[in-house]
Structure 1
Amino acid sequence: MLYLNTKGYIQNVIPVIFASFNLYCCVALANESNLADAVESQDYQVIGRLLDRRAEVNLPQVDGMTALHWAVYYDDFELVRKLLSAGANANAENRYGILPLSLAAINANNEMVELLISGGAEVNRTMAGGETILMIASRTGNGGAVNALLSAGADPNAEDEKEQTALMWAAAEGHKKVVEVLIGAGADINHILGSGFTPLFFAVREGNIDVSLALIEAGADINAVLSRQTERTQRAGNNASEQAVNQGLSPLLLAVRNGHFELAIELVKKGADPNDMRSGFTPLHTMSWVRKPDSSDRGDPSPNSVLAVLARSNLLKRL
């Protein structure tokens, strides 16, 4: 009986134990099979085992994110280097069109941008809405990343679906150094949208004094006016600058209307025409309905200061 029981145990129980062990091993290996999951979890022990095992480095998650995407997202320079050496695709995009290089630009990490470019990342790839990597880097304001992209052949005059350029993004965000780099690379300072907006209008609307002056020094027209480009308006779609604007609005009028009084003073000093009535009214008219307390504009001078400058410009004498 003892023999039979032992024999039965060997014949029936032992195979079940081995099957369970094999199943456990398979499950464990399956849990480690996706390198992207391990990098997302920042599980460096599993990452190390998978790389040693030469796991598929480009195996995506369900949304298309790869191990390289996550490594760039976490600014893990050394891991990105290892993944690229192991054959990671620097141009992989997820379901939403996000590229590793776009994540590096969002993080304003110029060293990562340079590493990905050296690993084969294409600098003129576009994402949803036609946005380029250079536009992202220009918006975040990292001059090193912008320089690296331009040196690798990024187009400074590429347009997104709203016709906006990298220079417009940099101007709106107030990144003077990036604006200067883009201008030096040949960016069009007078590129115009369907609304009539140019880089200067974006800078003025946001009250970016240094950027506005840099654009003017580079040749932007200080007395330009907003004039809808009817043949382009249809393509401009939901562009923020397509919201209702007055025909004939100049940078000076736009500055005054938005309460950027210090900028308005600088524009007058640089030659903006204080008597311009192409919109149907002058800066002085605009001053009469602008209501903006000094404390809310981070130190901008009061409307009375602007009036004084306008008076010295002979505006009051002519009215």
Structure 2
Amino acid sequence: MLRLGLRPQPRSVCRALAVLLFAAGSLSFAAESRLADAAEKSEHATIRTLLKQHADVNAPQADGMTALHWAAYRDDLETARLLMKAGANVKAENRYGVMALSMACVNGNSELVELLLGAGADPNTALRGGETVLMTASRTGRIGPIKALLARGADANAKEKDHQTALMWAAAEGHTEVVELLLKAGADFRTPLPDSGFTPFFFAAREGRIDVAKALLKAGVDVNDTMQPRKPTGKGPRKGTSALILAVENGHFELALALLEAGADPNDQRSGFTALHALSWVRKPNRGDGDDGDPSPIGSGNLSSLQFVKELVKHGA
């Protein structure tokens, strides 16, 4: 170049070198992540071959997903066993801070959860937002993983970033057996969320989970307890809202009747109006868009609003 009277261009040389290094690194990364790639596709024969060739069992893909992550994600117990026998790290995190145990709890495979726990996975493993594996399992409703986690010391009262607990998740989703199991493990059913005032009981009332509500009442919940939100919003429940009002507002008339039969006060108006007022609001005609035009809730159960009015009157409204 110098003999031709041309000067070298440092930037061009650097760019070319960077491209070459990136390409070499990419090829190296691809080669190292072959086991994870095979696990992603559930290619069992390839996985066995690579393990026999002593491929790095913990080599991640670009996003941090290891072969064990993919085995848990795919609910692939066979591959998980092979990988852990080869020394897979059960505490490896992907780019988003997710471990294999969290993925296994989403699927609810109790054998896989127990396998990971037995290999040293932390029963209090949590996502970056604070959702623990017990919360994940409680949300999905699979009882086996929950029993395994509790037996290994999972904290039944752990809270995520919004202060929600595993019991709140289970109550809202209507997983009665999970609720009962968590209650036996000492889960707190009284402490409300600091801002909204929701407890597991109020979540059950809002979602129409009649069996969960009954389980919580049996555990000692006061049927006439009210919500005390610290930061009430226009669309959220008002201060003084009872489970009865919450159930009626959401069209869960069978649950509302069960609450009446459990001793709920039909004339309680600490929220500013009674259950009968709430019912008349729920049944009002739609009026277009805006606050006055919200459609009636879909609700749950087979009890009609007219039948519920009769029950309200029968109970002293």
Superposition TM-score, scaled by structure 2 size: 0.83
Structure 1 contact 35–50 (Cα < 8 Å) conserved: yes
Query: What stretches of structure 1 of length at least 5 have no aligned partner?
Result: 1-26, 234-240
Letter in 2 for 1:107: N
User: Which residue, out of 283, 286, 292, partners 2:275?
Assistant: 283
Percent of aligned pairs with the same amino acid: 54
Task: String of CA shifts for 1:216-257, please: whole Å, max 9, x gaps.
Answer: 111112111111246xx9xxxxxxx99532111100000000
Displacement of 1:296 in angstroms is 4.7
Structure 2 contact 206–250 (Cα < 8 Å) conserved: yes
CA distance in 2, matches of 1:153, 1:288: 48
Residues 157-176 of structure 1: matches in 2 within 5 Å? Answer: 157-176=157-176
Which stretch shows the higher mean deviation, 303-312 or 63-72? 303-312
Residues 1-319 of structure 1: matches in 2 within 5 Å? Answer: 31=31, 34-194=34-194, 195-229=196-230, 244-291=236-283, 296-297=298-299, 299-315=301-317
Structure 1 contact 32–46 (Cα < 8 Å) conserved: no
CA distance in 1, matches of 2:239, 2:259: 20
CA distance in 2, matches of 1:215, 1:29: 52
Note the aligned Cα RMSD (angstroms): 2.3
CA distance in 2, matches of 1:166, 1:256: 25
Displacement of 1:36 in angstroms is 0.5
Letter in 1 for 2:136: I
Displacement of 1:294 in angstroms is 11
Task: String of CA shifts for 1:110-153, please: whole Å, max 9, x gaps.
Answer: 11111110111111121121100000000000111111000000
1:15 maps to which residue? none
Structure 1 contact 172–208 (Cα < 8 Å) conserved: yes
Letter in 1 for 2:240: G
Superposition TM-score, scaled by structure 1 size: 0.83
Task: String of CA shifts for 1:62-98, please: whole Å, max 9, x gaps.
Answer: 1010000011111111211111111101111101111
Query: What stretches of structure 2 of length at least 5 have no aligned partner?
Result: 1-26, 285-294
Letter in 2 for 1:274: P
CA distance in 2, matches of 1:102, 1:242: 35
Structure 2 contact 32–55 (Cα < 8 Å) conserved: no
1:3 maps to which residue? none
Structure 2 contact 252–301 (Cα < 8 Å) conserved: no
What is the aligned residue count?
A: 280
1:12 maps to which residue? none
Larger radius of gyration: 1
CA distance in 1, matches of 2:104, 2:145: 9
Which stretch shows the higher mean deviation, 125-134 or 150-159? 125-134
1:22 maps to which residue? none
Which stretch shows the higher mean deviation, 173-182 or 81-90? 81-90
SS in 1 for 2:115: helix
